[in-house]
């Protein structure tokens, strides 16, 4: 084996180790997906966890930006629905009337659509986040320290799903309470 090939193999092994440190549980699935994306130009790689858990998977994998977008959309619809007793007289606004009349269907379709989108493209976006994080940490720290940093930044624990469920439930409850307070103050 020549020196150039030997250096490439060491670099690849070190980089894969850092990815394993970042991914944590089920790392082999994401390393396999990285290989898939290198071979196939498409960005679709089905992820059952993302498809079934949706926003919980986003919280579990620390993809807070996408989770915030999801929550803002859901909370907006929920607030309009929960505040609907005050909005009953405002049926002249067709958007409010549609939300109030079809709230359950709209919410169900939104959840199904976003979970399918996450099932298809969640792995791709997660790998993009992981690659940015590994590159950033690797550029600023030696491998031994980078390994520890990446384990802390990524590598979710089993308890993160429970934490995500509590957070999302709490946000729903808070939205309902805020709508009730808004109704009382109006």
- 95 or 8: which carries more pLDDT confidence? 95
Of the candidates 186, 185, 184, 171, the residue with the CA atom closest to the CA atom of residue 79: 171
Band of residue 3 on the pLDDT scale cut at 50, 70, 90: very low
Q: What is the pLDDT of residue 68?
A: 95
Answer yes or no: is pLDDT of 110 > 90.
yes
pTM: 0.82
Q: Where are the domains of the chain?
A: 3-185
Which of 90-94, 128-132, 142-146: highest mean pLDDT? 128-132
What phi and psi, each to the nearest 5 degrees, are found at residue 20? -60, -40
Is-contact 140 12, C-beta < 8 A? Answer: no
Both structure tokens of 153: 């930044």
Say if CB 17 and CB 134 are below 8 A apart: no
Residues 15-65 pLDDT 10s: 678 888 899 888 889 988 988 888 887 778 999 999 999 999 999 999 999
């Amino acid at each position: 084996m020549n020196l150039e090939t030997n250096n490439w193999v060491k670099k690849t092994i070190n980089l894969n180790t850092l990815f394993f440190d970042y991914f944590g549980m089920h790392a082999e699935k994401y390393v396999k997906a990285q290989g898939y994306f290198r071979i196939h130009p498409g960005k679709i790689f089905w992820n059952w966890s993302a498809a079934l858990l949706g926003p919980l998977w986003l919280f579990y994998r620390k993809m807070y930006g996408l989770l915030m977008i999801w929550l803002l959309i859901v909370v907006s619809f929920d607030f309009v629905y929960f505040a609907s007793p005050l909005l009953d007289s405002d049926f002249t606004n067709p958007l409010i009337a549609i939300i109030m009349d079809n709230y359950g269907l709209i919410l169900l379709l939104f959840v199904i659509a976003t979970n399918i989108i996450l099932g298809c493209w969640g792995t791709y976006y997660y790998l993009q986040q992981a690659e940015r994080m590994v590159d950033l940490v690797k550029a600023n720290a030696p491998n031994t320290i980078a390994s520890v940093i990446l384990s802390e930044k990524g590598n979710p624990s089993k308890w993160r799903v429970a934490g995500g469920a509590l957070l999302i439930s709490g946000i729903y409850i808070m939205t309902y309470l805020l709508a009730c307070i808004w109704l009382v103050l109006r």
